[in-house]
Structure 1
Amino acid sequence: MIPTVELRRIIEASFNPMTCHCTINPGGNLTVEVTDPKTGQVDLLVVGIPTESLATVRDINDLLAQLREELKANQEWFQADFHGRNLLQRRHH
């Protein structure tokens, strides 16, 4: 198994230039929070990732791919929601 300090470093570095913080919770679960450094908006928050499932580099790469997909989907949703609100606000003014 990869040491948790190294696991955190790999995951956090994988989201540059975004800000990523990983926390190892009691019981061995991982929390990953990715934020936009310019706005401070949390674009991804995943809680309860079991660290015992991250035994190999391939396991970590698979997790990173899943997290990036979720991040992209969240960013697209936030962007669509933001633009949708702007359109609604303009119609009412």
Structure 2
Amino acid sequence: MEPLIDSIVQKLHHLPQPKLNEVLNFVEFLTWQEKGENQLDVSESTAEINPTFEDIADRLAEEFAKSVGTNLPLLSDYAVSRAGIYEEHP
């Protein structure tokens, strides 16, 4: 099995960082799946396996910022207010 692991590691060195993150997530999923849901220590693993809404929102915001950049125009307070959302549009 060592040659297979060496081959995988060698190929990982040529991947960009976002792809490495995907590989890590996949390997963590496989490891979690191998353990089985009933054998997990909930006190240590809950945050990683069952992230909170805030964790997911933060990760999504970070990924969005990476892809869009910092020059994105912001919406005005009126645009996101109830009046702005329900405004009649011609």
Task: Check whether TM > 0.5.
Answer: no
**Higher CA-based Rg:** 2
| Larger RCO, structures 1/2 (Cα 8 Å, 6+ apart) | 1
TM-score of the superposed pair, with normalisation by structure 2: 0.26
TM-score of the superposed pair, with normalisation by structure 1: 0.25
* Structure whose residues are more often strand by fraction: 1
* Structure whose residues are more often helix by fraction: 2
